[in-house]
Structure 1
Amino acid sequence: MTDQNTASQKRLAVFDMDGTLLEGDSVTAYLNCLNRNGLIPVDFRKDEQKYKDQFLNGTLDIGFFYRHVLSPLRGWSRSRIQEFMTGMTATDIAPLIYPEGRKLIARLQQEGVRVIIVSATFDLIVRAVARDIFGVSDIIATATEFRNEVFTGEPLLPYSHQEGKALLLKKTLSENGWSLKDSQGWGDTVNDIAMLSLVEQAHAVNARGKFRDYARSQGWELLEFRI
């Protein structure tokens, strides 16, 4: 008899990360940590608010942004980056996690649901947050390049952003033989629409502006998460 809860047959739950599982932005937390440790120049963050606004309204040049925020790590070894990300996750990101999101993921895991965190943030951060805070091993994020275990500072195409989230999710499903039957998804901005449109039941977290209007038009559940 075939076990109906085999790895390939688990129901799926996909979560955006920033703004959905945590308050604010993990890249901001990462930059705060770099700044506190004297690893970026004084003017490195001068355009930060502009980038945030562009991200929220869907107009950010994401490739340029990735290269900018990754540049302080160029030339670091993989082990040094992993150590930095582990510490940064504990000190700068853990306090930002929404209790509702943490409990929701824990409940889904207990029910045997496969949780995938799908984020536009680069994999160096997403992998550490998923593993250390949520106990999640399946992630989709913008990949980054190492050569001979040394970080080049380059993000790799396709970026896990907007339509890229949906593209990479479909690729992951195909490679693993996973199905979106009875799937659910959670996101917080217009950048998540393509991903959320793939799942059977979508939820909008802390939705505002155009995204809130769109979520309502689609009949998506509106949720409010708070620290």
Structure 2
Amino acid sequence: MVNNLVSVVRLSTAEFHSAVYSLSPSVAVFDCDGTLWSGDAGSGFMRWTVETGLVSREATDWIDARYRGYLKGEVSEVAICGEMVQMYQRLREDEMRRAAKTFFANQVEPNIFPEMKELVDELRRKGVDIWAVSSTNNWVIEEGVKRFGIPPERVLAASVQVKDGVVTDVIRDVPTDAGKVAALAREGVTTPDAVFGNSIHDAAMLEIARRAFPVNPTSALAERSAQEGWPVYYPASVKPV
């Protein structure tokens, strides 16, 4: 719990939306898990594909050991996010996309923040160029942001190479921490007007924005927001830290 955030401004929904619209942004960048919807779709998809038998016992045992290491601080954020995509090697990509569609509809869609959906819809209506950046696999993120009208070419997510329709273990990208900034820069996005994120792994991306918008911030990001003077926003369904 964070109890020393007296200097942090907490925006109401009306204030939050007004602050975004007043920027008249041309480019807006959104993290996804915890920002557009509650929960971690990346680890959720990992568990769901294990429980449904999509992945082999060998892959299940391997990722379980690696994830336990991650929780103990023995495996880095960037490593585990990449491995949570590599675990699907030798499966067909069309199978992964079908799985992601079923998973998101059943497990994540009910957790979409309506206030964030309203915001993105209005920004799209205003012609804002919107990007989604996530360390969760691209199959889940591309499926999820369809609900927000964000096309796949505006998604930067953890991904591996696909050869002849088959998933490989060759990493293409794992956007997390400074890697999110680097992924955007490769697309020519270096100074976005507004950036939205919920975790400390979004801090580097928030720093490059004309205005940073921490949404549903974790304790670590809430502390960072206090240091930076970033007002924070909590959707109605979230209990503030």
- Number of positions where the alignment pairs a residue of Structure 1 with one of Structure 2: 207
Using the aligned pairs only, state the percent identity.
Answer: 21
Say whether residues 1:180 and 2:191 are aligned partners: yes
Work out which of the residue numbers 47, 51, 55 in structure 1 matches 2:70: 51
> How far, CA to CA, are the matches of 2:76 and 2:36 in structure 1?
24
**Alignment match of 1:151 (pick from 167, 170, 174):** 167
Inter-partner Cα distance in structure 1 for 2:41 and 2:143: 11
| CA-based RMSD | 2.5
TM-score (norm 2): 0.75
Amino acid at match of 1:148: D
Distance 2:68 2:117 in 1: 27
Contact 2:180 2:204 in 1 (8 A): yes
Which structure 2 segments of 5+ residues have no match? Answer: 1-24
| 1:156-175 map, 5 Å | 156-157=172-173, 159-173=174-188
SS of residue in 1 equivalent to 2:38: coil
Q: Aligned pair 1:69/2:84, yes or no?
A: yes
CA distance in 1, matches of 2:227, 2:78: 31
Name the CA distance, whole Å, in 2 between partners of 1:151 and 1:50.
24
Contact 2:30 2:132 in 1 (8 A): yes
Residues 1-227 of structure 1: pairs in structure 2 closer than 5 A: 11-40=26-55, 41=57, 45=64, 48=67, 51=70, 54=73, 60-131=75-146, 133-137=147-151, 138-157=154-173, 159-173=174-188, 180=191, 183-227=193-237
Superposed CA offset, 1:146-199 (max 9, x none)? 112211133224x211101001112212xxxx6736x11111111111111111
- The two structures have a TM-score, normalised by structure 1, of 0.79
Take 2:123 and 2:112, find their aligned partners in 1: how far apart are those partners?
17
Q: 1:226 to 1:23 in 2, by over 3 A?
A: farther
Which stretch has the larger CA shift, 161-170 or 215-224? 215-224
Segment of structure 1 superposing worse, 195-204 or 21-30: 21-30
Unaligned stretches of 5+ in structure 1?
A: 1-9
